[in-house]
Every structure is written in structure tokens, then in C-alpha cells.
Structure 1
Amino acid sequence: MSTMAPPRPTARSSAPVARKRPMRYPDASSRAVMTRRGWWLVVLNFLVPGSAQVLAGNRRLGRIGVVSTLVMWTLAIAALLSALLGRSVFLAIATNWFVLLLAQGLLIAYAVLWVVLTIDTLRLVRLVRTGTRARFGIAATSVVLLVVASGTAVHAANVAGATRDTLGAIFGASGPTVEPSDGYYNVLLLGADSGGSRDSRRFDSISVVSVNAETGATTITGFPRDMPGFPFAAGPMQDRYPNGHEGHADATCGWGSGINQLNTEVEVCQDGNLLYPDAVENGSAPGIEATKDAAEGILGIEIPYYVTIDMHAFEALIDALGGVEITVKERLAIGGPGYTGEPFEEWVEGWIEPGTQRMDGHTAQWYARSRHTTSDFDRMRRQRELQQAILAQFTPQVVLTRFQEVADAGADLVSTDVPHSFIPTLLDLALKAREQEVATIELTPDGGIDESQPDWAYIKELVRSTLHPPAPTPEG
């Protein structure tokens, strides 16, 4: 008994199949049907990559696309929920180098898959069967949607890679995160002004940033460059100067006893590596450690970390942010070196005029550094203004839209001994700090400090009462 093969479907017998599954078995003779089908396939490929293949093409390829899409959506939703419900956990994951590397690889692979699926979708559309005008619209729409979709994935991959590279370049230290001291994380912030004729960097700006470990409330304490006779915390510099720092008459070691000369003294005129043998290994330098000890001795607080900001890269960061808005109170000279007493026309490059203005990096740098028509104390005030203006402009919107520029500037801008493990805590506190006013303490005559003979006990009490104000009573 022989078996006969089923008859091949004729055009008439395949009509019901086409009506049931028009995407896979369309009426190719109808341009209207093929045009509608083409638009649907293009839209589905954009909304759920792989769905066009599941409905009308290679189901195996389609399943790969759909599963990949579901995985990416799941990861995105999980990241969003983590950011909303557990920010500290999210930041810890999002700043991990391996997670960033994995995210970069997945995003690039997904972008490539999207390109493959889009090309295959256009094949399934069969443009020659669609309407004359529609075929160009379908093709153009596919290309635009591909650029939007895969371009977004590629951009996100670049962001992940740039974040990993930037964090690796800045936070190279691998030490443990220290516990807060009296409820605060204290960081020495140094503005480094290095010149080709100098043996070492001179700190143009010295301050300590104290961040409340719970609330993120931030206080910045500024030091005058020429603060004399300062005490040191216990350590090698206190052993050398038990009665306070002494001055020098040798320019090689830094004139006078100003705190901004300390780095030059330790790096050039003393064997800093003998004083602080572990400094370089821990991501610091002897001159920086000496300055830490000086700041601790003056303020009476523990300062475990430092951050050095290169003043020349500082200009690039402000340009990367699109400038910064400052209200200028008095006319300021741009240019240098120039010294007081020299005719302005011999060195001045220009002027910063009074009024509210958006400054580029070059102008903002001179706004913070200019002192030839004012005083060091006024310059300290302007530096705090600029720091707060930059913090206010560091919004997520600005950073995301200018991410690559900010990342490139940041890699050259900052050096620090803050360990990589501290990054999530640091970012979490930075987000909290944005919601509050930044308090300032200026160790200047305006702040009640005698510039020639500072009262060290008063300074310590001022810092203590500012960081730990008395609790309000019911009577107020």
C-alpha cells in the first residue's frame, strides 16, 4: 500500500493561510498589503528587536533578538529600581570596573545585533513589492530608527567605557575606606599651580572639605596662602618643628613660613621620602602628607585623604561644563606673572568686568587666581564662589550631555589618594550635598583670625562649633 504525498497548496488553498498569518504569508500581489506589512515590520523591529523575524522570518534569529531585548530591559529596570530604592547599592555596582566592562560589552553586542536585525527586516519587507513612494519612506525610516536605537546603545557603551577609564585614572589607590572622624569625612583640597621654572608644585589654593557622613552637609575651610607659624599634627614635621613652622630666607626652600611653601620645602630642601616613606606607595607625595599634617594641626581634625586639582586642567573642566555663571563684584586683571607695582600695561592681558556673566575656563581660572588689584583674602572668597558655582552646575543633565568632555577633563584634572572603594560613598554624599547650602570658614581677618599671629586654639574651637553646632533648645 503506497502513501501519497499531500498536494502542494495552490494559490486558492493558501489564501486562508495568508489570512491567518499575513506577516509570514502575505498577498505579495497586493502593493497595499505589502506596504502595510512593511511598516508594521519596521515598527516592530524598533519596539521589540527580533519580533519581526519571529512573525515573518527566521524564528531562531528572532528568538535571539527578543530574548536579548528582554534581558536588556530587565537589566535597565533593575538598575532604575536600584537607583530609586537602594542608591548606595546602585552606586557600588555602577562604579565597579568589571560591571562597567561587562556593560560596555553587552551594549556593543546589542547594537551590532540591532544592525543585523534591521538589515534582515528590510529583506523581509521586500521593498520592491511595496508602493513606489512607500518603499523610500520605509527604507529611510528604518535607517533613522537604526541610528537612534543602535546609536543610543553605542553611546551608552562609550559612557561605560569612559567612566571605567576615568575612575581608573583618578582613583588608583586600593587601600581600605576609612571610617568617618567625629561624623565627618575630611578631605584636603589643593589647587596646584605648577610652572616650568619651578622645582615642585606650589599650592595656589588650600582648603579642607568636611562632609557630614550622614547628611552630606558640607563645610569648606579655606587657608590663606601665607599663614605663618602653623602647628603640625603628631608626625615627622611636628618632630622637626615642635613650636610651629619656621620661616626660610632661601627662595629655594620657599620664602617665609607660608603654608603654600611647605610642599616646595619638603620636596626640594628636605628628603621627603625619609620623612614620609610610604607616601608614594599609597598614592600621595611627601609634600602633600606634610600639608595634611599642617592642616590637621591647625584645625584639630583628622584628614585621611587629599585631592589635588591641576589649575590648568581646571580650565578644561569648566569649558567641558559649558562655562560657569559668576557675579563679579569688582574689576579684575587677567594675566601674569606680573607683580604689584609693575605697570599694568606691561603684563595685563585683559579685564574681567563687574556684573553677572558666564565665564569660559580661561576667564574663570583668572577670576579665582587674580590678586594684583585685590588681596589674597579676597581671592580666597572668589575661589569659594567658583567652587560653589561649579558644584551647582554639576547637574546630571549637564554631565550626561557633555559626558565625554567632562570625563576627558577629569582624567587630567584630579589626583588623589581616595581609594576606589570609597567612590560609591563619595558619590552618594555628593548627591546629598547638592540639596544643601555649602558652609564656609575663612581663616582670615574677616573670619576673626589675626593674619600675623593666628590664635590656634580659637581656630580649633571655631571648626568644632561649626561642624558640631549645639542642638536647639525648646526655647530656641
Structure 2
Amino acid sequence: MRQATKPVSAGAVLGWLALSALAPGAAHLRAGWRKTGLALLAGYAALLLALLAVGLSTDNLLGSLTENSWLTGITLGSAVLGVAWFAVIVHSFVVLRPGGLTQGGQIVTGALAGLLAVVVVLPFGVVTQYVWTWQQTVNSIFDQPTTEPEETVARSPERPEDPWAGRDRVNILLLGGDADDNRIGVRTDSMNLASVDVKTGSTVLISLPRNLEDVRFRPGTPMAQRFPTGFRLPPDPGGGRSDLLNSVWEYSDAHPEIFGGKQHQGPKVLMDTIGYTLGLKVDWYALVNMWGFARLIDAIGGIKLTIEQDVVFGKYNEGLVKAGTRKLKGADAMWYARSRTYSDDYTRMRRQRCVLGALLDQADPATVLTRFNRIALATKELIRTDIPRDMLKDLVPLALRVKNAKVTSVQFVPPLINTGYPDWAKIRSITAKAVRDSAGTGPAIAASADPSTTPSAGPSATPSATPSATPSAMASQKKPAKPGENPAKGLTEGCGAL
């Protein structure tokens, strides 16, 4: 039996309703609905304890939020809780017997009670909408890989809890492509390999120039059989070249006959080629449409950059990104990163590194949350990748570690290398040292290096099959670097100096 209570004032009705929004059941206890009130409070306490238990018992909570089962559960749970909270507020208003108030009091409390009922539903609605959007974004990007890699990172049977199969690093190839509706194929004008320490997040970003010539392919592969002395084609009718590193993807896609009729071999071939060049095993790639990247920058509200000198762009040099410190919109940021007018590829590579560094620094959690829908939409439109869907739960926390870890970079540009006649052994040696310095683990890089072959040096030498993990090779890796051969630097070092 419910205990009789005296009618409450309008102020008291609103106060108890507000308390019920935070502690469901409070208004019912005030109105004498003891069993209902206690049941609501007990259920609320149980819900909080359950959420706490899930948080404490889940080692990788952020990573779990990429799994469809979790995302579906959160979406349904938020929708159910939103409806339940709405019903609690409405019923709390009823049991407080607002009929005893004056007509004006009933109108005011009724209106405010309805507003409160809507307000308490909003957070659940936002969570439901955000999670649904996140799920659709993740599924659209990762559920349909564009390549079928022969080998990828897999969990060790002996250590199932280790997602990296005992490896110390993972290597992800980050590509910027210029594909659009008016161009056939994909040219990868920005090529950066991120080598990430899986424990600390320490990262080396290794940049390769688009105009690297005589590119070597791993011996025994179809491309190496077609180009045994390096990637070389006759000049284009206009005098340009279509046999540079940035054309490997496009050429491979355009010539399926090289691969026994297999289509869309470009990503796989480029990953293997860059891995062979650097002496690293490339695990996955992510291709970003450069102008889609501009939309992502707009989605986070622009990025703040210090422009060292005026950057001219446009077919007729009609565009200008002025020198100075300012927040750039996506289009200007991309022109700053891509323009070669009165400049060269190597200066452009440095500017691209500066844009990546600014984006990494300025895409803070608050910005991502407040602009989540725009960021998700832009991300769906700009990324193409072969990262397996089931690896996301481990890559998400790793990405957060990268944001707070040391990130260094190496750019293989003149005078460090000659892009027309690359010293392949030097490229591999510098890469190995940069990875070792990032890890702080001495000369061994077995976790990331591919020890099967070593690219040959010189413009016309045939690629050799000398194992790089021999004692002599390891000894050579231990030698101190010559002056100028330790080019690793902070990601944003050299950026913003007016």
C-alpha cells in the first residue's frame, strides 16, 4: 500500500522531477510509491555497477568499440534507455499529483516536465546516432578489402592474447592518390610508410619521393620478370615519364596480363615494392584521396599552420597561399601541401609532412566529438584500405598511443639520395637505423625487416638475392652512420619557421 502524501508545490514538483532525472525513483519515493521507487533506484544502481564492471573487465575498451556486436549492443541499449528515462520522467510527474496545483501551476509544471523528458532523452539519442554513424563508417571502409594479401599480421596460436604475433612493430603504407572522375587509374603522389612500435607507439614516418627512378622489384615476382633491371618505359609523347615510383600502382592495374589475368594488383605490388626498397614487411596500406583529405580538414574546422613563404598554385599561377600563421581551410591546406609551382617535389614532401603533423596535433578528442558526423562522412569518402576488420580493435588503441608518442621522420630526397640513380643499399641502411633508433633496441630489426633479399645499388644492376640477415650484413648495420646519413627528425621539425 502506498503511503498518503500531501500535495506538493509547483517548485517542489520541478525539483523532484529534476532529481528523478539523475536518480530514477526519487519522485516515486516522495509520492509514497515505495516499491516502485526502490525498484527504480535498485535498477539504476545495478546499471551503473554493470557499466563499471564492463569497463574494468574489458582490457581494450576503445578497441572493442570497433566490433559490430559491441556497436549494435550500444545502439540498442541507448535507444531502450532513452525510452525508459522518458517514461520515468513522465510517470514521476504523474505520481507527484500536479492536479492539486493551480491551473497556472499545472501549465508551467506540465510544460517544464515535458521539456525535461525530452532533454533526458537527447544524450541517449546522440549516443545512438554517433554509434550508428561510426558503425556504418567502419563497415563501409573495412568490410570489403580491395586486395587479398598473401600474408598479414595474425595472432600467434601460442599467444592468442598477442594480436601482433610476437612482432615488435607494424608497418602501414600511407598513400595520397590523385584519382578523380576525369583520370583513369591511381597515381600515388604521396608515399609514406609508418613503422609503429606496438608497445610504445613510437613511430618512424619514412617518405619516398614520387619521382624515384629505376624502381626495383622483388626477385621472382611478375614485375621483376617484366623489368629485371628496374622499372623503365619509353618517355611519354609529351616528354614526361610513366615509370616512376608513383606509377607502379597504376601500371600494375593497367596490365593484368603480367599477373596471369588477375585484376587490381596495384596495391599489392606497390606494398611489396616499397617494402623491398626499405627492407621492411609492409602489413597494410591506406590510400587517401588527396581532395577527400581536404574535406577531412574542413570537417575538423581547418588546421593552423605557419606558412614560411608564399605558395603559388593553379594552372595559370592564379592561386596563392600567403606566408604567415593562420588557420587554413582544406583546399588551401592541400594546395600548400601539393603545389610544385616555383618549387620541387622535395619541398612539397616537407610541406606534406607539416600538414600531417598539424592534423595529428590538432585533431583532439573534443574536436572529433563535436564534429563527429562531418568527420565520419569525410572519412567514408576518402579512405581505401586493406586493413582487416578484426584488427581494428587493436589498431585503435595503438593509434592513440602514436598520438602521444615520439614520431620521427625520414625523407629520401636529394642530397640524401639521387632519385635518378638511387643507392638502394643506402636507403635500406638508413631505414634500418631509423627504426632501431625509434625502438631504442639496438641493431636488431628482425620484427620488421624482410631478410630475404637486398636491393642492389646502381642504375642498372640486377637485384641480388643476398640475405640481409647474414653476420656481415648485421655487422654493417652496427657501424656508426656517416655524417648526413642520420636524417631522422621530429615530424614537425622544420615546419613553421618564418
* Interval of TM-score (by shorter of Structure 1 and Structure 2): 0.7 to 0.9
Contact 2:170 2:195 in 1 (8 A): yes
Give runs of aligned pairs for residues 192-203 of structure 1, distance below 5 A. Answer: 192-203=177-188
Query: What is the distance in 1 between the residues matched to 2:435 and 2:237?
Result: 37
- Tell me whether 375-384 or 229-238 shows the greater mean CA deviation: 229-238
The whole-number CA distance in structure 1 between the counterparts of 2:208 and 2:417 is 11
Report the counterpart of residue 418 of structure 1 in structure 2: 387
1:411 offset after TM fit, Å? 1.3
Q: CA-to-partner distance for each residue in 1:51-110, whole Å, 9 max, x for gaps?
A: 434553777865775455334423432354457xx3xx2134222101110110011011
Instruction: Mark the runs of 5 or more structure 2 residues left unpaired by the alignment.
Output: 155-163, 443-498
User: Residue in 2 aligned with 1:301?
Assistant: 280
> Which of these residues, 21, 26, 42, is aligned with residue 46 of structure 1?
21
Paired residue for 1:11? none
**What is the rounded CA distance, in whole Å, between the counterparts of 1:324 and 1:433 in structure 2?**
19
Using the alignment, how far apart are the partners of 1:182 and 1:74 within structure 2?
37
Rate the CA distance shift 1:74–1:272 in 2: closer, same or farther, 3 A.
Answer: farther
Q: Does the CA-based 8 Å contact 1:193-1:202 persist in structure 2?
A: yes
Q: Distance in 1 between matches of 2:213 and 2:275?
A: 15
1:445 aligned counterpart, secondary structure: coil
Residue 101 in 1 paired to residue 72 in 2? yes
- Which structure carries more helix by proportion? 1
| Counterpart position of 2:485 | none
Partner of 1:400: 369
Any residues of structure 2 matched to 1:231-310 within 5 Å, and which? 231-234=216-219, 235-250=221-236, 255-271=241-257, 274=260, 277=262, 285-310=264-289
Aligned pairs for 1:72-471 within 5 A: 72-81=47-56, 86=59, 89-130=60-101, 135=106, 138-172=109-143, 177-178=153-154, 179=164, 183-234=168-219, 235-250=221-236, 255-271=241-257, 274=260, 277=262, 285-335=264-314, 338=315, 343-344=316-317, 348=318, 350-446=319-415, 448-469=416-437
Which is further off, 462-471 or 263-272? 263-272
Q: Alpha carbons of 1:151 and 1:426: their partners in 2 closer, same or farther (altered >3 Å)?
A: same
Q: Are the structure 2 counterparts of residues 187 and 272 from structure 1 closer, same or farther at C-alpha, using a change threshold of 3 Å?
A: farther
What is the distance in 2 between the residues matched to 1:264 and 1:435? 36
**Which residue number corresponds to residue 3 of structure 1?**
none
- What RMSD, in angstroms, separates the aligned Cα atoms of the two structures? 3.0
CA–CA distance in 2 between the matches of 1:232 and 1:260? 14
Quick one: distance in 1 between partners of 2:117 and 2:406? 44
Q: Kindly indicate whether the alpha-carbon contact (under 8 Å) linking 2:176 and 2:288 is maintained by their aligned counterparts in 1.
A: yes
Equivalent-residue separation in structure 2 for 1:315 and 1:110 (angstroms): 38
CA-to-aligned-CA distance 1:362-405 (integer Å, 9 cap, x gap)? 11111111111211111111111111111112221111111111
- Once the two structures are TM-superposed, the CA of residue 150 in structure 1 deviates from its matched residue by 1.1
The secondary structure found in structure 2 opposite 1:222 is strand
Moved more, 65-74 or 195-204: 65-74
Q: How far is 1:449 from its partner?
A: 0.9
TM-score (norm 2): 0.78
Cα distance in 2 for residues equivalent to 1:63 and 1:139: 25
> How many Å separate the matches in 2 of 1:402 and 1:65?
35
Q: Secondary structure at the match of 1:454?
A: coil
Gaps of 5+ in 1: 1-16
Report how many aligned residue pairs link the two structures: 426
How far apart are 1:143 and its partner, in Å?
3.8
CA distance in 1, matches of 2:181, 2:144: 28
One-letter code of the match for 2:429? E
How far residue 291 of structure 1 moved from its aligned partner, in angstroms, is: 1.0
Counterpart of 2:401, as a letter, is K
Give the Cα–Cα distance (whole angstroms) in 1 for the partners of residues 383 and 38 of structure 2.
46
Corresponding residue SS for 2:188? strand
> Does the CA contact (< 8 Å) of 1:181 and 1:302 recur in 2?
no
- Which residue of the partner structure matches residue 14 of structure 1? none
**Does structure 2 retain, via aligned residues, the 8 Å contact 1:180–1:213?**
no
Return the offset for 1:214. Answer: 1.6
| Distance of 1:173 and 1:60 partners within structure 2 | 52
Kindly indicate whether the alpha-carbon contact (under 8 Å) linking 2:213 and 2:245 is maintained by their aligned counterparts in 1.
yes
CA distance in 1, matches of 2:31, 2:237: 81
Give the structure-1-normalised TM-score.
Answer: 0.81
SS of the equivalent of 1:271 reads helix
After superposition, give the CA deviation of every residue in 1:400-419 in whole Å (9 maximum; x if it has no partner).
11111111111112111111
Deviation at 1:230, TM superposition (A): 1.5
1:5 maps to: none
**Offset of 1:256 from its aligned partner?**
3.9
AA aligned to 2:51 is A
